[in-house]
Amino acid sequence: MNDDARTDIGTPAPSSAELRDQVERTRDELGQTVEALAAKADIKAQAKEKAAAVKDQAAAKAALLSEQLREKAGQAAHAVKDKSPDPLLEKAGQAATAARADRTALLVGAGAAAAAVLLVRRSRGRRR
């Protein structure tokens, strides 16, 4: 070998400090590669990420559909109101006003309906 410490290719041999730096860089690269492979192999974390993405997507779609439904309901209400004859609208308004004013009759009717439902369920339960 020559006294000037050359490699086979003719370039000077790296110093020990350069070799240490090269080893450190290689270790860092290897660590990053291992972390990337571990992340790819972590099925549980991937499933959680995908579930969160699907959940967000479903929530966004539900909000959009809800808004569309509100718009369609409003349009339908306006269409019914426009096509309903005025006397019918007046009678419906009077009935609603009367129902709001006389809640006692409404509550008595609701109580009677609830009692009837309970009696029917009870009699069916005894037949079995």
The 3-state DSSP class for residue 6 equals strand
Total-model pTM: 0.36
Closest CA to 13 of 28, 26, 1, 29: 1
Paired tokens of 31: 């660590």
Q: Where are the alpha helices (DSSP H) in 85-102?
A: 86-101
27 backbone dihedrals φ, ψ, rounded to 5° = -65, -45
| pLDDT tens track for 49-106 | 899 999 999 999 999 999 999 999 989 888 877 777 777 778 888 888 877 777 787 7
Non-local CB neighbours of 45 within 8 Å, separated by 6+ positions = 39
For the chain, give every domain's residue range: 86-128
Which pair of structure tokens corresponds to residue 7?
């490699």
Q: Give residue 96's identity as a one-letter amino acid code.
A: A
Q: Cα separations (Å) of 45 from 17, 36, 58, 78, 113?
A: 40, 13, 20, 50, 54
Tens digit of pLDDT for each residue in 3-23? Answer: 455 556 667 888 889 999 999
Strands (E) across 10-71 are located at none
